[in-house]
Structure 1
Amino acid sequence: MKEEGPVIFPNDEVSIAVYKYCKERSVPLPDHLHKLANFTEENLPEVSEMMVSRLQAQYLIWTARSYGAKKILEIGCFCGFSALAFAEALKDVEGAKIVTTDINPKTCEIARNAFRDAGVDNIVTLIEGPAQETLLSLKEEGPFDLVFIDANKEGYPDYFKTLLDLKLIRKNGILIADNVLKRGLVADDSENNPSSGDKTEVWRASKLREFNLLASTDPRVESTILPVFDGLALVRVL
Protein backbone atom coordinates (compact mmCIF):
# COMPACT_ATOMS: atom_id res chain seq x y z
CA MET A 1 0.00 0.00 0.00
CA LYS A 2 1.34 3.40 -0.94
CA GLU A 3 1.94 5.74 1.97
CA GLU A 4 0.01 8.52 0.21
CA GLY A 5 -3.16 6.42 0.37
CA PRO A 6 -4.89 4.63 -2.48
CA VAL A 7 -8.10 5.64 -4.20
CA ILE A 8 -10.35 2.95 -2.75
CA PHE A 9 -13.31 3.00 -5.12
CA PRO A 10 -12.90 3.26 -8.91
CA ASN A 11 -15.77 5.64 -9.75
CA ASP A 12 -18.83 7.47 -8.43
CA GLU A 13 -21.17 4.59 -9.22
CA VAL A 14 -19.21 2.19 -7.05
CA SER A 15 -18.86 4.80 -4.29
CA ILE A 16 -22.64 5.28 -4.22
CA ALA A 17 -23.19 1.52 -4.12
CA VAL A 18 -20.73 1.19 -1.23
CA TYR A 19 -22.44 4.01 0.67
CA LYS A 20 -25.83 2.34 0.23
CA TYR A 21 -24.36 -1.01 1.28
CA CYS A 22 -22.94 0.52 4.47
CA LYS A 23 -26.23 2.16 5.39
CA GLU A 24 -28.12 -1.09 4.95
CA ARG A 25 -25.73 -2.95 7.25
CA SER A 26 -25.31 -0.36 9.97
CA VAL A 27 -27.36 0.55 13.04
CA PRO A 28 -30.93 1.05 11.74
CA LEU A 29 -32.50 4.48 11.95
CA PRO A 30 -36.03 4.71 13.37
CA ASP A 31 -38.80 6.17 11.22
CA HIS A 32 -38.84 9.54 13.00
CA LEU A 33 -35.22 10.16 12.00
CA HIS A 34 -35.95 9.40 8.36
CA LYS A 35 -39.00 11.68 8.61
CA LEU A 36 -36.90 14.61 9.84
CA ALA A 37 -34.21 14.01 7.22
CA ASN A 38 -36.81 13.92 4.45
CA PHE A 39 -38.47 17.08 5.75
CA THR A 40 -35.16 18.93 5.86
CA GLU A 41 -34.13 17.83 2.36
CA GLU A 42 -37.52 18.75 0.89
CA ASN A 43 -38.11 22.06 2.67
CA LEU A 44 -34.56 23.42 3.02
CA PRO A 45 -32.83 22.09 -0.10
CA GLU A 46 -30.36 25.00 -0.33
CA VAL A 47 -28.88 24.27 3.09
CA SER A 48 -29.83 20.64 3.73
CA GLU A 49 -26.17 19.64 3.27
CA MET A 50 -25.61 21.16 6.73
CA MET A 51 -27.38 18.10 8.11
CA VAL A 52 -25.21 15.06 8.79
CA SER A 53 -25.83 12.16 6.44
CA ARG A 54 -27.96 9.20 7.47
CA LEU A 55 -24.90 6.98 7.62
CA GLN A 56 -23.20 9.52 9.86
CA ALA A 57 -26.27 9.53 12.11
CA GLN A 58 -25.94 5.75 12.31
CA TYR A 59 -22.29 6.21 13.28
CA LEU A 60 -23.23 8.71 16.01
CA ILE A 61 -25.79 6.33 17.51
CA TRP A 62 -23.26 3.49 17.54
CA THR A 63 -20.53 5.71 18.99
CA ALA A 64 -22.65 7.16 21.80
CA ARG A 65 -23.76 3.68 22.81
CA SER A 66 -20.26 2.22 22.54
CA TYR A 67 -18.74 4.89 24.76
CA GLY A 68 -21.54 4.51 27.29
CA ALA A 69 -22.33 8.22 27.02
CA LYS A 70 -24.88 9.62 29.44
CA LYS A 71 -24.36 13.37 28.97
CA ILE A 72 -23.84 14.76 25.47
CA LEU A 73 -23.19 18.30 24.29
CA GLU A 74 -23.75 19.26 20.66
CA ILE A 75 -22.53 22.52 19.16
CA GLY A 76 -24.58 23.13 16.02
CA CYS A 77 -28.10 21.69 16.11
CA PHE A 78 -29.44 22.82 12.70
CA CYS A 79 -32.79 21.00 12.33
CA GLY A 80 -32.06 18.52 15.11
CA PHE A 81 -31.12 15.43 13.09
CA SER A 82 -27.87 14.59 14.86
CA ALA A 83 -29.29 15.48 18.29
CA LEU A 84 -32.21 13.17 17.54
CA ALA A 85 -29.70 10.44 16.69
CA PHE A 86 -28.00 10.94 20.04
CA ALA A 87 -31.41 10.82 21.73
CA GLU A 88 -32.05 7.47 20.05
CA ALA A 89 -28.80 6.19 21.56
CA LEU A 90 -29.60 7.50 25.05
CA LYS A 91 -33.38 7.02 25.20
CA ASP A 92 -33.12 4.08 27.60
CA VAL A 93 -30.23 5.46 29.67
CA GLU A 94 -31.26 6.54 33.16
CA GLY A 95 -30.46 10.20 33.79
CA ALA A 96 -29.56 10.83 30.14
CA LYS A 97 -29.07 14.45 29.14
CA ILE A 98 -28.39 16.06 25.77
CA VAL A 99 -27.69 19.78 25.40
CA THR A 100 -27.62 21.22 21.90
CA THR A 101 -27.23 24.77 20.66
CA ASP A 102 -27.93 26.80 17.55
CA ILE A 103 -28.49 30.42 16.57
CA ASN A 104 -31.12 30.15 13.80
CA PRO A 105 -34.69 30.59 15.14
CA LYS A 106 -36.26 28.88 12.11
CA THR A 107 -34.23 25.69 12.35
CA CYS A 108 -34.47 25.71 16.14
CA GLU A 109 -38.26 25.60 15.84
CA ILE A 110 -38.03 22.63 13.46
CA ALA A 111 -35.70 20.86 15.89
CA ARG A 112 -37.89 21.48 18.92
CA ASN A 113 -40.92 20.13 17.05
CA ALA A 114 -38.93 17.06 16.05
CA PHE A 115 -37.81 16.42 19.64
CA ARG A 116 -41.37 16.77 20.88
CA ASP A 117 -42.83 14.56 18.16
CA ALA A 118 -40.25 11.85 18.92
CA GLY A 119 -41.00 12.08 22.65
CA VAL A 120 -37.42 12.95 23.61
CA ASP A 121 -37.87 16.58 24.59
CA ASN A 122 -37.53 15.45 28.20
CA ILE A 123 -33.85 14.56 27.65
CA VAL A 124 -32.89 17.10 24.94
CA THR A 125 -32.42 20.79 25.78
CA LEU A 126 -31.95 23.22 22.89
CA ILE A 127 -30.30 26.52 23.79
CA GLU A 128 -30.83 29.21 21.18
CA GLY A 129 -27.96 31.67 20.90
CA PRO A 130 -24.30 32.08 19.88
CA ALA A 131 -22.37 28.88 20.57
CA GLN A 132 -19.45 30.52 22.36
CA GLU A 133 -21.78 32.33 24.78
CA THR A 134 -23.64 29.08 25.41
CA LEU A 135 -20.41 27.24 26.18
CA LEU A 136 -19.42 29.87 28.73
CA SER A 137 -22.79 29.42 30.44
CA LEU A 138 -22.45 25.63 30.71
CA LYS A 139 -19.58 25.44 33.18
CA GLU A 140 -21.85 24.11 35.91
CA GLU A 141 -23.51 21.63 33.53
CA GLY A 142 -20.32 19.73 32.73
CA PRO A 143 -18.43 17.66 32.36
CA PHE A 144 -19.95 15.89 29.37
CA ASP A 145 -19.06 12.39 28.19
CA LEU A 146 -19.24 13.23 24.50
CA VAL A 147 -19.19 16.52 22.60
CA PHE A 148 -20.07 16.86 18.92
CA ILE A 149 -19.07 20.01 17.00
CA ASP A 150 -20.86 20.72 13.73
CA ALA A 151 -21.36 24.49 13.75
CA ASN A 152 -19.79 27.50 12.02
CA LYS A 153 -16.35 26.31 11.01
CA GLU A 154 -14.54 29.52 11.88
CA GLY A 155 -15.53 29.00 15.51
CA TYR A 156 -13.91 25.59 15.94
CA PRO A 157 -10.59 26.81 17.44
CA ASP A 158 -12.36 28.88 20.10
CA TYR A 159 -14.83 26.10 20.88
CA PHE A 160 -11.94 23.69 21.38
CA LYS A 161 -10.11 26.04 23.75
CA THR A 162 -13.23 26.83 25.76
CA LEU A 163 -14.26 23.18 26.09
CA LEU A 164 -10.86 22.27 27.52
CA ASP A 165 -10.30 25.40 29.60
CA LEU A 166 -13.69 25.03 31.30
CA LYS A 167 -13.26 21.24 31.60
CA LEU A 168 -16.54 20.64 29.82
CA ILE A 169 -15.37 17.20 28.71
CA ARG A 170 -14.61 14.57 31.35
CA LYS A 171 -11.35 12.64 31.54
CA ASN A 172 -11.39 10.03 28.76
CA GLY A 173 -14.38 11.84 27.29
CA ILE A 174 -14.63 12.20 23.51
CA LEU A 175 -14.86 15.22 21.24
CA ILE A 176 -16.03 14.57 17.68
CA ALA A 177 -15.64 17.41 15.19
CA ASP A 178 -17.29 17.25 11.77
CA ASN A 179 -16.13 18.72 8.43
CA VAL A 180 -12.51 19.05 9.51
CA LEU A 181 -11.23 18.36 5.98
CA LYS A 182 -13.65 20.80 4.30
CA ARG A 183 -13.83 19.22 0.85
CA GLY A 184 -10.12 18.53 1.01
CA LEU A 185 -9.25 22.24 1.24
CA VAL A 186 -7.58 21.75 4.62
CA ALA A 187 -4.97 19.51 2.97
CA ASP A 188 -4.85 21.10 -0.48
CA ASP A 189 -6.34 24.50 -1.33
CA SER A 190 -4.38 24.84 -4.57
CA GLU A 191 -5.83 24.73 -8.06
CA ASN A 192 -5.79 20.95 -7.74
CA ASN A 193 -8.93 21.31 -5.64
CA PRO A 194 -12.05 22.44 -7.56
CA SER A 195 -13.32 24.13 -4.37
CA SER A 196 -10.30 26.44 -4.16
CA GLY A 197 -12.11 29.11 -6.16
CA ASP A 198 -14.49 29.74 -3.26
CA LYS A 199 -12.52 32.17 -1.09
CA THR A 200 -14.96 31.92 1.81
CA GLU A 201 -14.55 28.17 1.92
CA VAL A 202 -10.77 28.52 1.72
CA TRP A 203 -10.86 30.91 4.69
CA ARG A 204 -13.04 28.49 6.67
CA ALA A 205 -10.61 25.71 5.81
CA SER A 206 -7.80 27.80 7.29
CA LYS A 207 -9.69 27.96 10.62
CA LEU A 208 -10.29 24.22 10.51
CA ARG A 209 -6.58 23.73 9.86
CA GLU A 210 -5.97 25.78 13.01
CA PHE A 211 -8.39 23.58 14.94
CA ASN A 212 -6.73 20.39 13.67
CA LEU A 213 -3.34 21.70 14.74
CA LEU A 214 -4.64 22.54 18.22
CA ALA A 215 -6.20 19.10 18.60
CA SER A 216 -3.02 17.35 17.49
CA THR A 217 -0.61 19.35 19.68
CA ASP A 218 -2.48 20.21 22.90
CA PRO A 219 -1.00 18.00 25.66
CA ARG A 220 -4.41 17.67 27.32
CA VAL A 221 -5.75 15.49 24.50
CA GLU A 222 -4.86 12.92 21.87
CA SER A 223 -6.53 12.94 18.49
CA THR A 224 -6.86 11.32 15.12
CA ILE A 225 -8.45 12.47 11.88
CA LEU A 226 -10.42 10.09 9.69
CA PRO A 227 -11.03 10.84 5.99
CA VAL A 228 -14.69 9.82 6.22
CA PHE A 229 -17.75 11.95 5.48
CA ASP A 230 -16.15 15.44 5.18
CA GLY A 231 -13.47 14.57 7.71
CA LEU A 232 -13.97 13.59 11.35
CA ALA A 233 -11.61 14.57 14.14
CA LEU A 234 -11.79 12.22 17.13
CA VAL A 235 -10.30 13.74 20.26
CA ARG A 236 -9.92 12.06 23.66
CA VAL A 237 -9.32 14.06 26.82
CA LEU A 238 -6.38 12.69 28.82
Structure 2
Amino acid sequence: MSETVINYNEGKVLLIDKPLNWTSFDVVKKLKFTLKVKKIGHAGTLDPLATGLLILCTGKMTKSIEKYQAQEKVYTGEFTLGYITPSYDLETEPELISETKHLKKEDLEAATLDFVGEINQTPPIFSAVKKDGKRAYSLAREGKEVKLNSRIVTIDEFEITSFENGKVRFKVRCSKGTYIRSLAHDFGQKLGVGAYLSALRRTKIGDFSVDDAENLNDFVKKNKVDTNDRP
Protein backbone atom coordinates (compact mmCIF):
# COMPACT_ATOMS: atom_id res chain seq x y z
CA MET A 1 0.00 0.00 0.00
CA SER A 2 1.20 3.51 -0.77
CA GLU A 3 2.00 5.87 2.07
CA THR A 4 -0.73 8.36 2.91
CA VAL A 5 0.18 11.93 1.95
CA ILE A 6 -0.86 14.46 4.57
CA ASN A 7 -2.09 17.79 3.24
CA TYR A 8 -0.72 20.20 5.82
CA ASN A 9 -1.97 23.21 3.87
CA GLU A 10 -5.51 21.97 4.48
CA GLY A 11 -5.00 22.30 8.22
CA LYS A 12 -3.40 20.17 10.94
CA VAL A 13 -2.53 20.42 14.62
CA LEU A 14 1.06 19.36 15.34
CA LEU A 15 2.55 18.52 18.73
CA ILE A 16 6.30 19.09 18.86
CA ASP A 17 8.72 18.63 21.76
CA LYS A 18 10.70 21.88 21.42
CA PRO A 19 14.47 21.38 21.73
CA LEU A 20 16.68 23.37 24.08
CA ASN A 21 18.10 26.63 22.65
CA TRP A 22 15.53 26.86 19.86
CA THR A 23 13.07 29.73 19.88
CA SER A 24 9.44 28.95 19.18
CA PHE A 25 9.80 30.95 15.96
CA ASP A 26 12.79 28.77 14.95
CA VAL A 27 10.45 25.76 15.10
CA VAL A 28 7.75 27.54 13.09
CA LYS A 29 10.28 28.57 10.46
CA LYS A 30 11.78 25.07 10.21
CA LEU A 31 8.39 23.40 9.82
CA LYS A 32 7.16 25.97 7.33
CA PHE A 33 10.16 25.04 5.17
CA THR A 34 9.82 21.32 5.87
CA LEU A 35 6.11 21.05 5.13
CA LYS A 36 5.98 23.72 2.40
CA VAL A 37 2.94 25.29 4.06
CA LYS A 38 1.70 28.83 3.49
CA LYS A 39 0.22 29.29 6.96
CA ILE A 40 1.65 27.97 10.21
CA GLY A 41 1.84 29.35 13.75
CA HIS A 42 2.40 28.24 17.32
CA ALA A 43 -0.04 28.39 20.23
CA GLY A 44 2.09 29.71 23.09
CA THR A 45 5.72 30.78 23.20
CA LEU A 46 8.41 28.77 24.96
CA ASP A 47 11.66 30.56 25.82
CA PRO A 48 14.82 29.26 24.12
CA LEU A 49 16.07 27.79 27.42
CA ALA A 50 12.81 25.85 27.91
CA THR A 51 11.85 22.54 26.32
CA GLY A 52 8.59 20.70 25.94
CA LEU A 53 5.19 20.88 24.35
CA LEU A 54 4.71 23.32 21.50
CA ILE A 55 1.40 23.23 19.63
CA LEU A 56 1.60 24.28 15.99
CA CYS A 57 -1.33 24.80 13.65
CA THR A 58 -1.24 24.82 9.86
CA GLY A 59 -3.69 25.98 7.21
CA LYS A 60 -7.24 26.59 8.38
CA MET A 61 -6.37 25.25 11.85
CA THR A 62 -4.43 28.48 12.53
CA LYS A 63 -7.87 29.89 13.39
CA SER A 64 -7.75 27.71 16.52
CA ILE A 65 -4.46 29.14 17.83
CA GLU A 66 -6.09 31.56 20.28
CA LYS A 67 -8.27 28.76 21.65
CA TYR A 68 -5.22 26.60 22.40
CA GLN A 69 -3.25 29.56 23.79
CA ALA A 70 -6.00 30.23 26.33
CA GLN A 71 -5.85 26.74 27.82
CA GLU A 72 -4.23 25.82 31.12
CA LYS A 73 -0.52 24.96 31.09
CA VAL A 74 1.53 22.54 33.20
CA TYR A 75 5.28 22.99 33.73
CA THR A 76 8.02 21.15 35.56
CA GLY A 77 11.50 22.46 36.18
CA GLU A 78 14.10 23.76 38.57
CA PHE A 79 14.73 26.93 40.55
CA THR A 80 18.23 27.68 41.84
CA LEU A 81 18.06 29.43 45.21
CA GLY A 82 20.60 31.89 46.58
CA TYR A 83 21.23 33.62 43.25
CA ILE A 84 19.46 36.12 41.00
CA THR A 85 19.85 37.09 37.35
CA PRO A 86 18.50 40.13 35.43
CA SER A 87 16.60 37.83 33.05
CA TYR A 88 15.34 35.57 35.88
CA ASP A 89 16.94 32.62 34.04
CA LEU A 90 20.33 31.61 32.61
CA GLU A 91 20.24 34.03 29.68
CA THR A 92 22.18 36.38 31.97
CA GLU A 93 24.91 35.74 34.54
CA PRO A 94 23.86 34.60 38.06
CA GLU A 95 24.84 36.77 41.02
CA LEU A 96 25.25 35.23 44.49
CA ILE A 97 22.83 36.74 47.01
CA SER A 98 22.55 34.44 50.01
CA GLU A 99 23.28 31.09 51.59
CA THR A 100 20.40 28.59 51.55
CA LYS A 101 21.56 25.99 54.08
CA HIS A 102 19.03 27.17 56.65
CA LEU A 103 16.08 26.38 54.39
CA LYS A 104 14.09 23.16 54.61
CA LYS A 105 11.59 21.72 52.18
CA GLU A 106 8.84 22.62 54.65
CA ASP A 107 9.85 26.31 54.37
CA LEU A 108 9.50 26.13 50.59
CA GLU A 109 6.15 24.38 50.76
CA ALA A 110 4.83 27.06 53.13
CA ALA A 111 6.04 29.81 50.77
CA THR A 112 4.20 28.30 47.79
CA LEU A 113 0.86 29.11 49.43
CA ASP A 114 1.34 32.82 48.65
CA PHE A 115 1.50 31.99 44.94
CA VAL A 116 -1.60 29.81 44.55
CA GLY A 117 -4.80 31.34 43.20
CA GLU A 118 -5.11 34.72 41.48
CA ILE A 119 -1.90 36.69 41.93
CA ASN A 120 -0.33 39.90 40.62
CA GLN A 121 2.73 39.09 38.55
CA THR A 122 5.16 41.40 36.73
CA PRO A 123 6.69 39.94 33.54
CA PRO A 124 10.49 39.77 33.30
CA ILE A 125 12.13 42.74 31.55
CA PHE A 126 13.75 40.15 29.29
CA SER A 127 10.40 39.18 27.77
CA ALA A 128 8.41 39.72 24.57
CA VAL A 129 5.97 42.09 26.29
CA LYS A 130 5.78 45.37 24.37
CA LYS A 131 6.82 48.65 26.00
CA ASP A 132 6.45 51.88 24.01
CA GLY A 133 6.08 49.85 20.81
CA LYS A 134 9.24 47.77 21.34
CA ARG A 135 9.81 44.34 22.85
CA ALA A 136 10.95 44.63 26.44
CA TYR A 137 13.89 42.27 25.85
CA SER A 138 15.21 44.58 23.11
CA LEU A 139 15.21 47.54 25.49
CA ALA A 140 16.75 45.47 28.29
CA ARG A 141 19.54 44.20 26.03
CA GLU A 142 20.28 47.81 25.06
CA GLY A 143 20.78 48.54 28.76
CA LYS A 144 17.72 50.78 28.98
CA GLU A 145 15.55 50.93 32.09
CA VAL A 146 12.35 48.94 31.62
CA LYS A 147 9.33 49.08 33.90
CA LEU A 148 6.46 46.73 33.11
CA ASN A 149 2.97 46.69 34.57
CA SER A 150 1.86 43.75 36.67
CA ARG A 151 -1.01 41.53 35.54
CA ILE A 152 -3.38 39.06 37.13
CA VAL A 153 -2.54 35.40 36.50
CA THR A 154 -3.87 32.23 38.08
CA ILE A 155 -1.75 29.44 39.56
CA ASP A 156 -3.90 26.42 40.40
CA GLU A 157 -1.08 24.18 41.61
CA PHE A 158 2.45 24.88 42.84
CA GLU A 159 4.15 21.74 44.14
CA ILE A 160 7.71 21.34 45.40
CA THR A 161 8.78 17.89 44.26
CA SER A 162 12.32 17.94 45.67
CA PHE A 163 14.87 20.24 47.34
CA GLU A 164 18.59 19.57 47.63
CA ASN A 165 21.71 21.76 47.66
CA GLY A 166 19.77 24.90 46.77
CA LYS A 167 18.05 23.25 43.79
CA VAL A 168 14.25 23.19 43.86
CA ARG A 169 12.32 20.87 41.57
CA PHE A 170 8.71 21.90 41.04
CA LYS A 171 5.45 21.36 39.19
CA VAL A 172 3.16 24.29 38.32
CA ARG A 173 -0.32 24.29 36.79
CA CYS A 174 -1.28 27.78 35.67
CA SER A 175 -3.21 30.09 33.36
CA LYS A 176 -2.19 31.67 30.08
CA GLY A 177 0.23 34.55 30.54
CA THR A 178 2.01 33.17 33.61
CA TYR A 179 5.78 33.68 33.56
CA ILE A 180 7.53 30.87 35.39
CA ARG A 181 10.69 32.99 35.39
CA SER A 182 8.84 35.66 37.35
CA LEU A 183 7.51 32.99 39.68
CA ALA A 184 11.09 31.84 40.32
CA HIS A 185 12.23 35.37 41.06
CA ASP A 186 9.26 36.20 43.29
CA PHE A 187 9.58 32.88 45.12
CA GLY A 188 13.22 33.64 45.88
CA GLN A 189 12.25 37.09 47.16
CA LYS A 190 9.60 35.54 49.40
CA LEU A 191 12.21 33.19 50.90
CA GLY A 192 14.65 36.08 51.31
CA VAL A 193 17.46 34.36 49.41
CA GLY A 194 16.83 35.11 45.72
CA ALA A 195 16.21 32.58 42.96
CA TYR A 196 16.29 32.14 39.20
CA LEU A 197 14.80 29.61 36.79
CA SER A 198 17.49 27.08 35.89
CA ALA A 199 15.38 24.56 33.93
CA LEU A 200 11.86 24.49 32.48
CA ARG A 201 9.76 21.97 30.60
CA ARG A 202 6.15 22.40 29.49
CA THR A 203 4.36 19.09 29.83
CA LYS A 204 0.72 19.94 29.08
CA ILE A 205 -1.50 22.48 27.32
CA GLY A 206 -5.14 21.73 28.06
CA ASP A 207 -5.66 18.06 27.19
CA PHE A 208 -2.52 17.91 25.02
CA SER A 209 0.52 16.21 26.57
CA VAL A 210 4.21 16.29 25.68
CA ASP A 211 4.04 12.48 25.88
CA ASP A 212 2.17 12.63 22.58
CA ALA A 213 4.55 15.15 20.98
CA GLU A 214 7.17 14.30 18.36
CA ASN A 215 10.85 15.05 18.60
CA LEU A 216 11.52 17.88 16.13
CA ASN A 217 14.40 16.16 14.34
CA ASP A 218 12.41 12.93 14.02
CA PHE A 219 9.44 14.82 12.58
CA VAL A 220 11.61 16.65 10.05
CA LYS A 221 13.45 13.47 9.03
CA LYS A 222 10.13 11.71 8.52
CA ASN A 223 9.21 14.48 6.14
CA LYS A 224 12.52 14.00 4.32
CA VAL A 225 14.20 17.32 5.03
CA ASP A 226 17.78 17.72 6.21
CA THR A 227 17.92 18.75 9.88
CA ASN A 228 21.61 19.58 10.21
CA ASP A 229 21.07 23.33 10.16
CA ARG A 230 18.65 25.45 12.09
CA PRO A 231 16.57 27.84 9.99
- TM-score normalised by structure 2 residue count: 0.22
Q: Work out which of the two has the higher radius of gyration on C-alpha atoms and give 1 or 2.
A: 2
More helix by share: 1
More strand by share: 2
Higher RCO (CA-CA < 8 Å; seq separation 6+): 2
